[in-house]
Amino acid sequence: MIIDVHAHWGPWFFTMDVARANLATMDRYGIDLAIVSATEAVIYDAPAGNRALAAALEGQDRLYGYVTVNPRRLEEAERDLREYLPTGRFVGVKIHTDYTGSPVTSPQMREALELVASFGRPALVHTWGRTVLDLAETCLAVPGLRAIAGHMGADGHRHAIEAARACDRLYLEPCWSHAPAGRFAEVAAAVDDRRLLFGTDATLIDPASAFGAVAAAGLTGETAERVAWRNAAELFDLDLTTT
């Protein structure tokens, strides 16, 4: 069993044609479930993307949704959270810092994360470099917030270690198009394995990158199981009895 906690649904603006590639991509790597955000929601129009994703998730049993929040449009965000989270098909919240011009340290991001915490669902937040430390700081400051550091800081994975040690409500997932040798192994050796998740960034990035990075770390036993699916199932409160 593998659960991908960082995936997307919809088209990308690059030279690629992957809008309908979710399940085939998952199947290539034995990924059973993925939690996806709509690319339209992340990149351009959150309500329109969330609405399209809600329709796409109907009748779908291998994809769960993130409600994407634009921190600059919190009224829209609250409306979407109230509409989609109770459906059970949306299990968390996605916030991208760059596309919305909202650094982790910005006032609107703080407000957005307080809103997410009030709904009791985890937030997947894009992190890069030292910004993962900012996310840990915000996580500590917002009661009840559970945050996933998307990309675990990418080239800032050592900051991610420090961040995860600072806040026990911060989780890490490794996806990145680059795969420096030993990156995930170093994180896995230094961070509580209950806070490690598996994410790929598919269908932007092929799962080869994250799968290979985790495989190279040589995890075994309970830790491997926690990374593969158990932590995700607990964090998102997923009912796996039907999968």
Partner 1 sequence: MSAFDAGALTGDLTVTLDADVLVGAYPDRDGPPGTPESVLGVLGAHRVRAGAVASLRAALFDMVSGNDEVLALSRASDAVVPIGAVDLRDPLGSAAELERLAAAGVRGVRLFPDEQGAEADFPSVRHVARRAAALGLTVLTGGDVRRFWRPFTGLGGSVVFLDTHFYHLGDFLVAAADEPGFHTSTRLLNSPDAVETAAARIGAERLLFGSRTPHAETVVPLLRLATSGLEPAEIEAVAGGNARRLLT
Nearer to partner 1, 116 or 152 (CB): 152
Which of residues 129 and 212 has its CB atom nearest to partner 1 in the complex?
212
Question: Is residue 16 a contact residue for partner 1 (CB under 8 A)?
Answer: yes
Check if the beta carbon of residue 89 is closer than 8 Å to that of residue 67.
no
Q: Is 189 in the site for partner 1 (CB under 8 A)?
A: no
Cα separation, 231 vs 243, in Å, equals 16
For strands 123-126 and 3-9, give the pairing. Answer: unpaired
Picking from 175, 150, 176, 144, the residue whose alpha carbon sits closest to that of residue 163 is: 150
Contacts with 125 (C-beta within 8 Å, 6 or more apart), sequence order: 95, 97, 104, 113, 135, 147, 148, 149, 150
CA 27 to chain centre: 19
Q: Is 211 in the site for partner 1 (CB under 8 A)?
A: yes
The token pair that represents 229 in the structure block: 């699916």
Choices 44-52, 70-78, 112-120, 200-208; region in contact with partner 1 by CB under 8 A: 200-208
- Return the residue matching tokens 């961070």: 191
Q: Is 37 in the site for partner 1 (CB under 8 A)?
A: no
Q: 124 by DSSP, 3-state: which?
A: strand
Minimum distance, C-beta of residue 56 to partner 1, in the bound complex (Å): 17
- Out of 70, 127, 138, 203, name the contact with partner 1 by CB under 8 A: 203
Choose, by CB under 8 A, the member of 2, 69, 93, 196 that binds partner 1.
Answer: 2
Residue 178 found at the interface with partner 1 (CB under 8 A): yes
> Would you count residue 20 as binding partner 1 (CB under 8 A)?
no
> What minimum distance in Å lies between the beta carbon of 3 and partner 1?
10
Give me the least distance between CB of 2 and partner 1, in Å please.
Answer: 5
Q: Which two tokens stand for residue 96?
A: 């991208």
Alpha carbons 120 and 24: distance in angstroms, whole number = 32
User: Is 209 a residue that touches partner 1 (CB under 8 A)?
Assistant: yes
Is there binding between residue 155 and partner 1 (CB under 8 A)?
no
Determine contact, residues 26/34, Cβ cutoff 8 Å: yes
Binding site for partner 1 (CB under 8 A): 1-2, 14-18, 21, 25, 28-30, 177-183, 202-206, 208-209, 211-216, 219-220, 224-225, 227-229
